[in-house]
Amino acid sequence: MSLKITKDCINCGACEECCPTGAICEDPELNARVIDPKRCTECVGFYERTMCQVECPVECCLPDPEQRESQAELLAKAKELYPDYEFPSPPPSHIN
């Protein structure tokens, strides 16, 4: 299940910094961050916990019931995004 960001977002950017798959970007019209469900793996393949939820200061990163996926599907998504990685894997270098 991908996560989504609610309207409580204060657009601080902490989630974007820690996302291992580059799934989060700013939406200038909303003045908030948004999550691309095609790139969110719930951090499966990289971390034990969903890092945007861990880092968000206002707890507005929540599971999206519209985007239900199994652990296997989430891992498959991670492998599709990063075909050259062995999973589980350290996060891609773009967040370091």
Binding region for ligand SF4 (CB under 6 A): 3, 5, 9-15, 18-21, 23-24, 32-33, 35, 40-43, 50-52, 55-56, 58, 60-61
Task: Report the alpha-carbon distance of residue 54 to residue 82 in Å, rounded.
Answer: 23
C-beta of 10: minimal distance to ligand SF4 in Å? 4
Cα 23 from chain centroid (whole Å): 5
C-beta of 84: minimal distance to ligand SF4 in Å? 18
Answer for the pair 25, 92: CB distance below 8 angstroms, yes or no: no
**Is 40 or 82 the residue whose CB approaches ligand SF4 more closely?**
40
Which residue carries 């498959």 as its tokens?
76
